[in-house]
């Protein structure tokens, strides 16, 4: 952005830190999961950070399709522990969301969603075990991640539990990232949780 501002000394620009490099260095070796959106342009697909194994017939065609993804900075992609999509209703025209796709497919590879990657990384698991139908391709029945088995729709979607909004479910990022450290109240609110 600064390169487009008239009157900025090019030598100053060369001395400014690269914030993507700083962020990439800060997440290296830590349980950080990055999210990406889906796109109708380009052909970028993110790196898959986990193994994927099947039981039964191949469910590769079950999830909603992904044509392309919004590209991640290479150094961030390389240093993250997981990468997951953040799309709720790919290809659907309704604004009502009752299910969330746990995977997307390009017909050859499955791409997990952000929540699955968070569960996988939090457990230190390396592989998704996906159960397909015993006698028919293109159907998912469950996903196993570490100690968790998640029943899914035939398209690999999770049925969502909808409840009223409650303020106690939320913790502000400013409290988690506070310069003076996390307060005892914030620590108690997030301890044992995936944040």
Asked if 142 contacts 88 with a C-beta cutoff of 8 angstroms, the reply is no
What range does the domain containing 193 cover? 167-195
Nearest-angstrom CA–CA distance, 54 and 58 = 7
By CB atoms closer than 10 A (0-12, 13-18, 19+), residue 132 is buried
Q: Give pTM, 2 decimals.
A: 0.85
Q: Are residues 150 and 171 in the same domain?
A: no
Portion of the chain with pLDDT greater than 70, in percent? 99
Residue 193 shares a structural domain with residue 115: no
Q: Give yes or no: residues 99 and 137 share one domain.
A: yes
Same domain, 175 and 192: yes
> Does residue 89 carry a pLDDT above 80?
no
Contacts of 73 (CB under 8 A, 6+ apart): 20, 24
- Asked if residue 1 has pLDDT above 70, the reply is no
Residues 124 and 45 in one domain: yes
Whether pLDDT at 193 is above 90: no
Same structural domain, 27 and 110? yes
Mark whether 86 and 150 lie in a shared domain.
Answer: yes
CA angle at residue 156 from 151 to 161, to 5 degrees? Answer: 55
Q: Identify the CA nearest to 40 among candidates 60, 72, 18, 66.
A: 66
């Amino acid at each position: 952005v600064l390169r487009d501002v008239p009157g900025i000394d090019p030598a100053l620009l060369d001395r400014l830190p690269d914030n993507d490099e700083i962020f990439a260095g800060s997440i290296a070796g830590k349980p950080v999961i990055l999210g990406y959106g889906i796109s109708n342009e380009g052909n970028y697909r993110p790196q898959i950070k986990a193994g994927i194994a099947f039981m039964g017939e191949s469910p590769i065609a079950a999830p909603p399709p992904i044509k392309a993804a919004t590209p991640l900075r290479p150094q961030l992609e390389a240093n993250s522990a997981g990468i997951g999509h953040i799309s709720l209703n790919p290809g659907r025209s309704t604004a009502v969301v009752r299910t969330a796709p746990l995977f997307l497919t390009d017909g050859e590879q499955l791409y997990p969603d952000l929540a699955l990657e968070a569960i996988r990384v939090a457990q230190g698991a390396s592989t998704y075990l996906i159960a397909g139908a015993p006698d028919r391709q293109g159907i998912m029945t469950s996903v196993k991640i570490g100690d968790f088995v998640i029943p899914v729709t035939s398209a690999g979607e999770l049925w969502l539990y909808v409840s009223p909004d409650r303020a106690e479910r939320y913790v502000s990022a400013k409290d988690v990232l506070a310069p003076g450290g996390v307060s005892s109240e914030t620590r108690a609110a997030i301890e044992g949780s995936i944040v």
